[in-house]
Structure 1
């Protein structure tokens, strides 16, 4: 269902009080703030998502009403009649209500994503790098930074340290040396190891910074993209299997207040999956992380082993074996899609 905020609903109610039908009043407000331009039949279907316009017959009557008032207009584009608002619709509504402040309110309500989506240009441009540093310095809560074999550049480290000292959580995801070799060449093995160690040295005294390693080529397709505060995503567009990240083009998508665009949601979900699949850098951390990640499997194995311990409890083995199987069964079901995916990837190679 399409949603209208209280200000929009209040203006629609005011239009009804001065004689407009509810569907026409709702449509007038929707067209002033959403600005749809579509063939009439398509427009009637689109606006059915809004309250008072659910009936296609009422939606079409509302369109005709606004066309008659000259609040909507029809233009022929490439042989198709397209219905849309007149440019000064907000002012017409304000005049109809005798309150010119309504026009300003309607214009303020309108949310468009265009200003929040930017093509920043080729990665090689210095402006992309400097604006990247500025964006890192603006972080208030979290930075998610996946990188393939990027070294800890001095300016980047300085910006990240500044935010870490301010309490910002920073998650750095690097490619494991084996993956760097697979994507680049054998010469990258020592370089990758050297750079991973350098990242660890730079932030070993910063508790809000965590560094992990990924062995998944699919997960590291996100390399050189990053997010800030879960609201702004920069995405480097390139072919990770044939190009270096510096050959890409950077775009930026930000979230308007109260909204979270699908592009931002997709990046955050993919990063969380990659982070979950990754391993800690230090051996002690990995030793703790692995059993914690696989705790269900370890619990099932422990219960299965306990079933063979002689205990004077009736049906002791059957009980523990049953519980163990109950834990393992969902794990197997969850693992089937991953197994199929791995088999397909092997076949594709």
Structure 2
């Protein structure tokens, strides 16, 4: 939901005290910090998201009041009349309040997301790799790295180990060899297994680093993209089923202070989902994870087996069969579609 921060609300309140109506005061600050450029009808609908401008009547009155002050101006674009902020709007607000520094303050409040989105370059370029290392070095809380069959390059491992020693959570998600072979080619299977062992050895003594295996092709569509602190995402644009990751183009989306762009949120959510579906590299840990994930199944089987033991307790069998059915039926409903999709992927 759109909103104003405290400093914007404070400035709007000051304008109201200087004689502007409350809706016009809010609209002046909104236009000074957002810079909307729309037809009047469209502008009315846009600004109705802000407090004090919720009704069409209030929004139109506010627009007209600012026009009368020459704080808003018409602009002809391709034969269409748009309503935009006057070039000196921020200076006019500062003069009205008798506070010259307000002009610079309003300029700083306006967030231009274009400055936080950039094309880093083609993946083969060395500058892309060097900036990747510098971005990893800046991590303070978390690094999320999904990779298909990427080798643990010395420079990358050194940076990641240093950040892990500093307490940064390093999450490395690799494709299982069978999945890597399915996405790439059969000869990749042995390379994948070898590199998984190398990644595991590189971080065996780092408690803040974890290497896990991905078993789902859709999750590996994130391969070679990564996030730092849930605030900056680099996204490698390529066809994961028809190209190598080094054939892609790297984009970067960073988060301005106080904001988290939808692109960053999407990557973090997709990675977290993929991480929750992944499995540990250690066979023992994988077995334990399987048992924990399948506790409902094992409980159903044990309860059903106990139901047929000759125990001298009234209604023993009926009770345990009822318990096993009560747990087993929802399990079938929940897991049935997942099993079907898994079988289709393996046979398709």
Q: Distance in 2 between matches of 1:48 and 1:346?
A: 51
How far did residue 41 of structure 1 move? 0.4
Partner of 2:190: 190
Distance of aligned partners of 1:60 and 1:331 in 2 relative to their CA distance in 1, 3 Å threshold = farther
Q: Distance in 1 between matches of 2:81 and 2:343?
A: 51
**Which consecutive residues of structure 1, in runs of 5 or more, have no partner in the other structure?**
none
How far did residue 335 of structure 1 move? 3.5
1:39 counterpart = 2:74: no
Higher mean C-alpha deviation, range 297-306 or range 172-181: 297-306
Partner of 2:237: 237
Deviations 1:201-253 (A, max 9, x none): 11111121111111211110100001111111110000001100000000111
Q: Distance in 1 between matches of 2:183 and 2:213?
A: 15
Q: Distance in 2 between matches of 1:337 and 1:64?
A: 58
TM-score of the superposed pair, with normalisation by structure 2: 0.93
Q: Distance in 2 between matches of 1:71 and 1:85?
A: 6
Higher mean C-alpha deviation, range 72-81 or range 328-337: 328-337
Q: Distance in 1 between matches of 2:190 and 2:340?
A: 33
Deviations 1:246-294 (A, max 9, x none): 0000011111222211111111111111112211111111111111222
Distance of aligned partners of 1:258 and 1:333 in 2 relative to their CA distance in 1, 3 Å threshold = farther
Partner of 1:102: 102
Partner of 2:151: 151
For 1:193-204, what aligned pairs fall within 5 Å after superposition? 193-204=193-204
Partner of 2:123: 123
Aligned length: 348
For 1:189-338, what aligned pairs fall within 5 Å after superposition? 189-335=189-335, 338=338
How far did residue 302 of structure 1 move? 3.0
1:55 counterpart = 2:55: yes
Q: Distance in 1 between matches of 2:83 and 2:322?
A: 65
Q: Distance in 2 between matches of 1:56 and 1:38?
A: 15
How far did residue 345 of structure 1 move? 6.2
Partner of 2:87: 87
How far did residue 322 of structure 1 move? 3.6
Partner of 1:30: 30
Deviations 1:52-75 (A, max 9, x none): 000011101111111221111111
Q: Distance in 1 between matches of 2:241 and 2:197?
A: 24
Partner of 2:9: 9
Q: Distance in 2 between matches of 1:340 and 1:83?
A: 56
Distance of aligned partners of 1:90 and 1:193 in 2 relative to their CA distance in 1, 3 Å threshold = same
Any idea what SS the aligned residue of 1:260 has? Answer: coil
Q: Distance in 2 between matches of 1:191 and 1:346?
A: 21
Partner of 1:172: 172
How far did residue 14 of structure 1 move? 1.1
Partner of 1:19: 19
Any idea what SS the aligned residue of 1:87 has? Answer: coil
How far did residue 337 of structure 1 move? 5.5
Any idea what SS the aligned residue of 1:37 has? Answer: coil
How far did residue 93 of structure 1 move? 0.7
Partner of 1:140: 140
Any idea what SS the aligned residue of 2:73 has? Answer: strand
Q: Distance in 1 between matches of 2:20 and 2:205?
A: 66
